[in-house]
Amino acid sequence: MLDNLSLLGQAPVLNIQLLLDGLFIGATFVLAAYGLALVWGVMNVKNLAQGDFVILGGYIAVTMAEWGLHPILGLPLVIVMMFGFGWLVYRAVISRVIDRDLFTSLLATFGLAIVMAQTMNLIFGPEVVAAESGLKTRSMFDGMVTVAEIKAISLLLAAVLATIVIIFMKKSRMGQAIRATAQDARAARVMGIDTDRVYAFTYALNSAICGAAGVLISLIWVIQPYFGITHSIRSFVIVTAAGFGNLPGVIMAGFGLGFAEQYSGFVLGAEFQQATVVALLVLILVVRQIQQARHRQVVR
Amino acid sequence: MSTAMTQGLLYGGIVLAGIVAPFAFPEYTFQFALLWIMILFALTWDILGGQMGYNSLGNIFFFGAGMYLCAVTQIGLYYDVAEYTAAFGAVKVDFTMGQYMLGLGLGMVAAALGSVVLALFFGRIVFGLRGPYFAIGTLGVALAAGELMGTWEYVGGGGGISLPVYPGDPDDRALLYYILCFVAAILTFAFLRWLYGTRFGLALNAIRDDEEKAEAMGIHTTRYKTVAWGVAAFFLGISGAVFGNMTGFIEPLEVAFPTTTFGIFMVLMVLLGGKGTLWGPVIGATLFHVIKEVTWTYLLGWQWITLGALIIVNVIYFQQGIMGWARDKWPERFGVVVDRRTTISSRDEEAAS
C-alpha cells in the first residue's frame, strides 16, 4: 500500500493516467446518476434497478456489435429501445408504487433488479464481456500513460448526451411539464398537465439515459449480469452526496467518485475498489446525518 | 375451548413437531434446521421493520459478524488464528469433544454479545437516518462489511475459514445443530412474545406511528431504537454462530454477509406473513421456505426470477401480508372492536328487530 503511494510520488505521470481514467469512467457515472436524480426528484421513486438498466443497455450494444453494427452507431438504437423498455416497466410496476410509501418503491425496484440481473444471466451468460470498438490506443509520456481513443470519444459522447438532455429539460414542452410536476404535482394537474404521462416519460427517459451510459461502459470497461447493483450504489452515492436537483453537484460528485475509485484501486489494490464505493456511501450518509442533527432538536 | 387452552395446544403442537421432525425425517434435518433459522431471521427483522417501522436492509450484518466472532473464538482458544487461516484449512486441529463444546459455547456467547456491541455502535451512526436513507445506509453497512472482510487476511480474507471439525458421528452433529437452531428460534419467539407485551413494545409501536409525537411524549426514541436493534443483533449473532458451524465453512460474500439472498429473504418473509404481528413472520418464513425449496428443486435456473417476481407482486398487491389480510377479514378475533352501529348491515338488523 505504501509502496504504491511512494510509486505515485516518484512517477507523477502515473497520476495523469489515474486522473484520465477517473475522468472517462466518471462521465458514465454522471449519466446514470443524473437519471436517478431525475426519477428521485420528479417521482420520488428510489430506483434500485438503475444499475441493471445500465448493464442491459451495455448488453444490447454488445449483441448488436456481434451482429456487425458498431456500438457507437448503435447508440441511438439502444436509446430508443431502452426508452420503450422503461415505458413498459413504468406501466407494469412503477405506476403501481408511485404514490405508496418510500420503502415500497425501494423494495419493488429491488425485486425488479433481481429479475433483470437473472434474466440477463440466462440470456447472455455469466461471462464478463466488452464491446469491441476497433479503435487504436495511443500512448503518451514514453508509454507511461495510455489513452484508448474510444475512451476520449465516449467522454465526448457523454458530454453531448448530457447537453441534449439539459436543453430538452429547459426548452421543450415536455421538459417544462416534468419540471412543473417535480415542483408541485397537484398544481401541475390543476394546470392541465397529465402527470401520469409525465411520470411515464420521466422513467422512460431515465431508462434511455442509463442505456446510453451502459453502451459507453461496455465500450471502455466491462459488463457482467451481476455488476448492476454496484452501478446502482454508485448512482445512490453520487445523488446522496450532491442532493437531487443539483446538476453541477451531480457532475462534480460523479467525477469525484471516478477519481476516488481509480486511486483506491491503485493504492490499496483492486479488491478495495468495490469496498470504496460502499464505504463512501456509508461515509456520506454519516456526514449528511451530522448536518441534519444540527437542525433537529431531541429530547435529552 | 378457552383461548388459553387453544394457545397451549398450539404451542405444544409446534414444539412437539419441532422435536419429532428430525427423527421422523432424518434426511431432511438440515432443511428443518434452516427453517428455524429462517423463522429467527423473520422474527428479528420484524422488531425493527414491523414493530418500529424502520426498514433495515442490512440486518444480515449481525449474522455475518456473529459467524466470524464465533469462528475466531473457537479457533483462538486453542490455536493461533492468523496461522490457521493462512493455511486455508490445511491445518487440521483435532479437538476433543470437551474442547469443541467449550469453544462452541464460548463462541456463541461472544457472537451474541459482540453483535450487541456492534449494534450499539452502528446504531449511533444509522439511527439519525430516516425512511429510505435508513434502508440504503444499513444496506451500505452490510455490503461494506462483506467487502472489507474479504480483504482482511487475519480472518482468511476472500478465501474464508474452515471451522473446526466435529469430533464425533456426523448424524450426532446434524442433530446437535438442529437442536441449537430449534432452541434459538423458540427462545427468540418466546422473548419477543414477552417483549411486545411490555411498555418497551408499546414504545416501539409509538415510534412507528409517529416518531416526532413519541419524542414529544417523552420517549427517548434514539435509546429505544438502539436497544431494539441490539435485541435483533443478539439473536442474529447466535444464529450466525450456529449457521457458520453447521455449514462448516465461512466466506465473506456468499455465506457470512449474503445481503442479496438471506438479507432480502428476511424482508420478504415478513412482508409475506404480515409485518407488525407476532405470528406473521413465523407463517411467512415457513411458507417462503417451502416455496423456495420447491422452486429451487423444480425451476432450477429460473428460481431467482421467480423470487424477484414474488417480491414485486408481494410488495405491490399484498403488502399487508397473510396476517394483515386475516385481520381485515376477521377483526374480532384480533381483539379489534368494530363499532357495528355505523355499518349498514347492522342498521338493517335493527330495523328488522
CA–chain centroid gap for A171, Å, is: 24
Which chain A residues touch B221 with a CB distance below 8 Å?
A: 298-299
Mutant choice from B133, B207, B221, B266 vs A, greatest count of A C-beta within 10 A: B133
As a whole number of angstroms, the distance between CA B229 and CA B123 comes to 7
Q: Which amino acid is at A61?
A: A
pLDDT of residue B284: 92
Q: Give the closest-approach CA distance of A104 to chain B in angstroms.
A: 6
Q: A275–B129: do the CB atoms touch at under 8 Å?
A: no
C-alpha pair distances (Å), B289 with each of A110, B239, B240, B285: 20, 17, 18, 6
Residue bearing cell 432538536: A297
Summarize pLDDT for A44-95 with one digit per residue, the tens: 888 889 999 999 999 999 999 888 888 888 899 999 999 999 999 999 999 9
Answer yes or no: do A274 and B147 touch at CB < 8 A. yes
CB contact B215 to A (< 8 Å)? yes
> What's the whole-number mean pLDDT along residues B189-194?
94
CB distance from B53 to chain A under 8 Å?
no
Pick the residue from chain B with its C-alpha nearest to A125.
B301
What is the spatial distance between Cα B278 and Cα B204, in angstroms, rounded to a whole number?
Answer: 14
Q: How far is A33 from chain B (nearest CA, A)?
A: 16
For B215, nearest residue in chain A (alpha carbons): A299
Using a CB–CB cutoff of 8 Å, tell me whether A93 touches chain B: yes
- B204's grid cell: 416501539
CA B347 to chain centre: 47
So what's the pLDDT on residue B147?
84
Q: Is A283 on the interface with B (CB under 8 A)?
A: no
> Does the pLDDT of residue B325 top 50, yes or no?
yes
Which pLDDT score is estimated for B234? 96
pLDDT digits (tens, 9 = 90+) for A127-182: 888 887 777 777 766 666 777 888 888 899 999 999 999 999 999 999 999 999 98
Q: What is the band of B337 on the pLDDT scale with cuts at 50, 70, 90?
A: low
Query: Has residue B306 got a pLDDT over 80?
Result: yes
Q: How large a percentage of chain A has pLDDT more than 90? A: 37
Of B92 and B169, more confident: B169
Under 8 Å between Cβ of A203 and A87: yes
In chain A, positions 113-142, which contact chain B (CB-CB < 8 Å)?
113-119, 122
Measure the CA–CA gap between A112 and A114, rounded to whole angstroms: 5
For residue B65, give Cα distances in angstroms to B75, B112, B276. Answer: 16, 9, 26
Q: Measuring CA to CA, how many Å separate B228 from each of A15, B139, B200?
A: 47, 18, 9
| Mean local confidence (pLDDT), B322-348 | 70
Question: What is the pLDDT, as a whole number, of residue A198?
Answer: 94
| Nearest chain B alpha carbon to A277 | B144
pLDDT recorded at residue B90? 63
pLDDT of residue A300: 41
Contact criterion met (CB < 8 Å) for B128 and A272: no
Alpha-carbon distance of A33 to A50, in angstroms, equals 9
Which of these ranges, A78-82, A106-110, B179-183, has the smallest mean pLDDT? A106-110
Q: Which chain A residues are Cβ-neighbours of B302 within 8 angstroms? A: 122
The reported pLDDT for the residue numbered B348 is 56
Residue (of B149, B168, B174) closest to B250 by Cα position: B149
Suggest the residue from A48, A240, A278, A283 to mutate for an interface test with chain B (most B CBs closer than 10 A): A278
Q: What is the DSSP secondary structure assignment for residue B41, as one 8-state letter?
A: H
Give the closest-approach CA distance of A279 to chain B in angstroms: 6
| pLDDT over 60 at B133, yes or no | yes
Out of A104, A115, A236, name the one closest to residue B315 (CB). A104
Interface test with B, best of A285, A298, A300 (most B CBs within 10 A): A285
Average pLDDT, chain B: 85
Q: Name residues 28-67 of chain A within 8 A of B (Cβ).
A: 46
Which cell goes with B195?
Answer: 417483549
Cell of A177: 411539464
Beta bridge partners of B162: B249
Asked if A144 reaches chain B (Cβ–Cβ under 8 Å), the answer is no
C-beta atoms of A107 and B311 within 8 A = yes
pLDDT at A299: 43
Which ranges of chain A would DSSP assign to H, the alpha helix?
Answer: 2-10, 13-43, 50-66, 71-89, 95-97, 102-124, 149-171, 173-183, 185-190, 195-220, 228-242, 247-267, 272-295
Q: Which residue has the higher pLDDT, A297 or A217?
A: A217
Report yes or no: A233 at the B interface, CB cutoff 8 Å: yes
Give Dmax over CA atoms of chain B in angstroms. 85
The reply to whether B56 touches chain A by the CB within 8 Å rule is no
Cβ of residue B222 closer than 8 Å to a chain A Cβ:
yes
More confident residue, B192 or A98: B192
Mean pLDDT of A287-297: 69
Q: What is the value of pTM for the model shown? A: 0.83
A226 touching B, CB under 8 A?
Answer: no
Round to whole Å and give the CA distance between B6 and B4: 6
Query: Looking at per-residue confidence, does A86 or B334 come out higher?
Result: A86
Q: Mark yes or no for CB contact B148/A279 under 8 Å.
A: yes
> Can you tell me the mean pLDDT for A186-205?
93
Mean pLDDT of A190-195: 92
For chains A and B, CB pairs below 8 A equal: 120
Do A118 and B305 count as a contact with CB atoms less than 8 A apart? Answer: yes
pLDDT band at B350 (very low <50, low <70, confident <90, very high): low
pLDDT higher than 90, residue A97:
no
Give strand pairing partners of A140. Answer: A145
User: Is B141 an 8 Å CB contact of chain A?
Assistant: yes
- For the segment A221-249, the average pLDDT, to the nearest whole number, is 85
| CA angle in degrees (0–180, nearest 5) for A110-A209-A281 | 50
Phi, psi of A129 (to 5 degrees): -125, 165
- Tell which wins on pLDDT, B149 or B115: B115
Percent residues over pLDDT 70 in chain B: 92
| A275: contact with B, CB 8 A cutoff | yes
How confident is the model at residue B91, as a pLDDT? 65
Altogether, the residues listed in chain B come to a count of 353
Nearest to A275 among B132, B148, B309 (CB): B148
Provide mean pLDDT across the span B47-53: 90
Chain-wide mean pLDDT for chain A?
86
CB contact under 8 A, B316 and A96: yes
Nearest chain B CA: its distance from A153 CA (Å): 33
Report the residue of chain B nearest A289, measured CA to CA. B128
